[in-house]
Amino acid sequence: MVRRLSRRDFIGQARSVALATPFLSLVGCSDEGDSRLISLGGKTMGTTYSVKLVDISPIIDKVTLAQEINGLLETINQQMSTYRPDSELSNFNAAASGTWAPISIDTRSVINEALRVSRLSAGAFDPTVGPIVDLWGFGPGGGHQRVPSPEEIASTRNNVGFAMIETRGEPSAVAKRSSGVRLDLSGVAKGFGVDKVAQHLKERGLSNYLVEVGGELRAHGSGSGGRSWRVGIEKPVAVPGDLQRIVDLNDAALATSGDYRLFFERNGHRYSHIIDPETGRPVNHDLASATVVATTTMEADALSTSLLVLGPDVGMRFAAEHDIAAFFVNGHSRDFTTTQSPAFKRRFEV
């Protein structure tokens, strides 16, 4: 079971920074009492969201702004949720092969980004891996976590493969080559939600903000005190709030993927919820979390998952080859080690 601490618990352990983690929401910052800082938040996509604003114009009504943000996130939920039977994504997943299912331009752009990262990572990131995740008992419905047989894995993998997905424009639609294939955009939709809210804030003339959905972040301008927003990268431990690294984030996005809170053990072996689409089995290496800083949160979201699947060695080579700003925390005990890609060092090392 994943333990979630209250906001008070979080602030008590990491008062001065925002917290980037695959499961937990924004902690907050040390200037909570500053009248220049406005905080908005709520629930979305099965998690929480937070928007922090500094020096907001007095002509902007905060209640109206909160309603606009809620509306944006609700629209994305209705488009891309796998929990809602009438969402665009659910309608596609229920469609027969070869049928062009109509989708919004936003949903198509998210699918296209997921497919782009899938091709870039040679399938380490795959938005069709859901059936195998379900097979291991880590899917949306929960269920019994178990070790499936090799035959079950092989059979289920017949319906997994990003190459079986195709999109088109005018009219916007998506199709699949096998009826058993389904899409799950949870690895990019939260990041897209962050980007969408950030875009809206920019269009409203706001320049100092930190947006977070489910731990995925995007920052612009400065926080209270006129300095860049401070973001904490968690240590991969069971209880949240202990920080491995703090970075100053400005005009950039950050996402972290980790395998350290959702797993089960059988016969002394640890099985993570992070599934390698190529093998159909949980990853089996020493990389506990991968953090990526990118231009958009959607890209950072997908790339951090890709690197976690690839592992500490192949993943770091991949990050270096593609100039990805990546920070790895290795180990599944208190004796953690960290590695950084050249792009991460250039961005954050003094």
Give per-10-residue mean pLDDT for the chain (350 aa).
Answer: 28 37 37 72 94 92 96 97 94 96 98 98 96 88 84 96 96 96 95 98 96 96 89 82 90 92 84 93 94 98 97 98 97 86 90
Give alpha helix (H) positions in the chain. 7-13, 62-80, 88-94, 105-120, 130-135, 150-157, 186-203, 297-310, 312-321, 342-348
Taking a C-beta distance cutoff of 8 angstroms, is the pair 41, 49 a contact?
yes
- Evaluate whether 336 touches 288 at the Cβ level (below 8 Å): yes
CB 221 within 8 A of CB 200: no
CB hemisphere CA count around 274 (13 angstroms): 28
For residues 307 and 121, give the distance between their C-alpha atoms in angstroms, rounded to a whole number: 8
- pLDDT at position 144, please? 85
| Helical ranges in 82-149 per DSSP H | 88-94, 105-120, 130-135
Helix (H) or strand (E) holding 234: strand 229-234
Residue 243: other Cβ atoms inside 10 A: 18
Contacts of 133 (CB under 8 A, 6+ apart): 139, 184, 273, 275
> Domains plus CATH for the chain?
7-77+187-348 (3.10.520.10), 84-185 (1.10.3980.10)
Dihedral angle computed from the Cα positions of residues 79, 84, 88 and 93, in that order, rounded to the nearest 10 degrees: 140
Tokens 């350290």 correspond to 260
pLDDT at 15: 33
pLDDT at 143: 67
pLDDT at 120: 98
Are 305 and 339 spatial neighbours (Cβ–Cβ below 8 Å)? no
pLDDT at residue 14, as a whole number: 33
Which residues, 6 or more positions from 136, have their beta carbon under 8 angstroms from its beta carbon?
Answer: 145, 146, 147, 148, 271, 273, 275, 282
Rounded to whole angstroms, the Cα distance separating 224 from 313 reads 39
Concatenating the DSSP letter of every residue in 294-305 gives: ESSHHHHHHHHH
Please give the backbone phi and psi of residue 267, each rounded to the nearest 5 degrees, phi first. 55, 40
Q: Tokens at residue 321, please?
A: 């080859």
